[in-house]
Amino acid sequence: RVGLPSTSESTVSQYACQRRTTLDNPNKIFTDAFEVLAENSDFCDSKGQALAYKRAASVLKSLPAALRCLGDTEGLPCLGEQTRAVVEDIFECGRSSKVETILSDEKFQTMKLFTSVFGVGPKTAEKWYLRGLRTLEEIVSEPHVHLNRMQQAGFLYYADITRPVSKAEAHAVGRIVKETVQEMSPNASVVLTGGFRRGKEFGHDVDYILTTPEMGTEEGLLLRVIDRLNYQGILLYTEYQGSTFDANRLPCRRFEAMDHFPKCFLIIQLHAAAIQDGTLSCDPGDRRGWRAVRLDLVAPPADRFAFALLGWSGSTQFERDLRRFARLERGMLLDNHALYDKSKDAFLPAKTEEDIFGHLGLEYIEPWQRNA
């Protein structure tokens, strides 16, 4: 069993926050299959089953080498009968018939197409599917379909938004945000988060955290940044959510990605001239000289920066397991805002992510090792 940890030397933790998961994934053939199964379960509203597939994929992503036989899955956490059967299928036939069936299923294909539109979740997609709609053209031309503002933007910029954002484009967006912030608040900081902080080459959007040393000024700063981008004429879509943050509220028990900080979900125009090497990841035939990019900005108060950074850096699976580990192994509650120790009945403050890992008694995991 060369290359894989045997049970005697080291065991793989059931918690992603106790594993180091880089972007190089030697088990992609298996994890891709699990991710199709997870997505299908999510479409069918089987949250528990979806989570089981996501956990299995996450465990395999953390392994230093490819599985060589079914026996290599022995002793691994989060791999049950169903996931082992998929691994066995892939070893025997080079593919999983269960996955092939889903991929060729009309409902799955349609749900995948509809949910690829910004602002369309599984609920809406299913409603459209049950009405007999099958293509994006049918949706926009159907008079009885009501689209909200977000979905309208999703259709309008569909081609751009579904095209992956490159690292160079993400940094170009960061420079625009930094320049804008600098003009108004020289002490404020703009920090990259999300998938690009984890080292990804491509992403579906760009995520930055804004914060000011003067507590209580972050919400105003974010609003002025939005104003300024709007004045520059590069804002194509703006969805602003004001703060609902309450410092006395306990961290939430269940995993939910949404937090209470002031934030915005934007679509901005990124011009080729703003990019270091001057090339946009667009069709070569595209003569506009710009592309639309999804940008998320969040503005936590300074004393919550570390929690927000840890929460927004992802991956989602890593975040889920951090919170589950805190609750089940340490009797603590963690979310994007705070860490609370139940036995001490006290909030544990943190200036850095290292402080949070320290409070949890976890070895520090670098952002690029959080691709669980």
Q: What is the rounded CA–CA span in Å between residue 16 and residue 25?
A: 15
Phi/psi at 184 (5° precision): -100, -35
- Shortest distance (Å) from residue 5 CB to ligand TTP: 27
Choice among 296, 303, 341, 355 that is catalytic: 296
Is 194 among the residues that bind ligand TTP (CB under 6 A)?
A: yes
User: Given the complex with Mn ion, which of 42 and 126 has the nearer CB atom?
Assistant: 42
Choice among 205, 259, 321, 335 that is catalytic: 205
- Residues with Cβ within 8 Å of 236's Cβ and at least 6 positions away in sequence, in order, are 153, 157, 266, 267, 268, 269, 292
Q: What is the rounded CA–CA span in Å between residue 357 and residue 307?
A: 11
Stretch that binds ligand TTP, among 6-14, 20-28, 180-188, 203-211 (CB under 6 A): 203-211
Is 194 among the residues that bind Mn ion (CB under 5 A)?
A: yes
Has 286 been annotated as catalytic? no
Is 115 among the residues that bind ligand TTP (CB under 6 A)?
A: no
Strands, E assignment, the chain: 165-166, 189-193, 202-203, 206-211, 235-241, 263-271, 290-298, 332-334, 339-341, 346-347
Is 258 among the residues that bind ligand TTP (CB under 6 A)?
A: yes
- Residues with Cβ within 8 Å of 214's Cβ and at least 6 positions away in sequence, in order, are 187, 302
Choice among 42, 160, 207, 335 that is catalytic: 207
- Shortest distance (Å) from residue 298 CB to ligand TTP: 7
Using CB under 6 A, which residues numbered 304 to 343 contact ligand TTP? 311-312, 314-316, 319, 336
Has 24 been annotated as catalytic? no
Q: What is the rounded CA–CA span in Å between residue 62 and residue 56?
A: 10
29, 32, 36, 39 alpha-carbon torsion, rounded to 10°: 160
314 makes contact, choosing from Mn ion, ligand TTP, none, with CB < 5 to 8 Å by partner type, with ligand TTP
Is 237 among the residues that bind ligand TTP (CB under 6 A)?
A: no
Has 345 been annotated as catalytic? no
Using CB under 5 A, which residues numbered 5 to 24 contact Mn ion? 22
Tell me which DSSP letter residue 137 carries.
Answer: H
Q: What is the rounded CA–CA span in Å between residue 321 and residue 354?
A: 17
Is 207 among the residues that bind ligand TTP (CB under 6 A)?
A: yes
22 makes contact, choosing from Mn ion, ligand TTP, none, with CB < 5 to 8 Å by partner type, with Mn ion
Stretch that binds ligand TTP, among 123-131, 198-206, 225-233, 349-357 (CB under 6 A): 198-206
Is 296 among the residues that bind Mn ion (CB under 5 A)?
A: yes
Positions in the binding site for Mn ion (CB under 5 A): 22, 194-195, 203, 205, 207, 296
Task: Point out the residues that are catalytic.
Answer: 205, 207, 296
Positions in the binding site for ligand TTP (CB under 6 A): 194-195, 200, 203-205, 207, 257-259, 311-312, 314-316, 319, 336
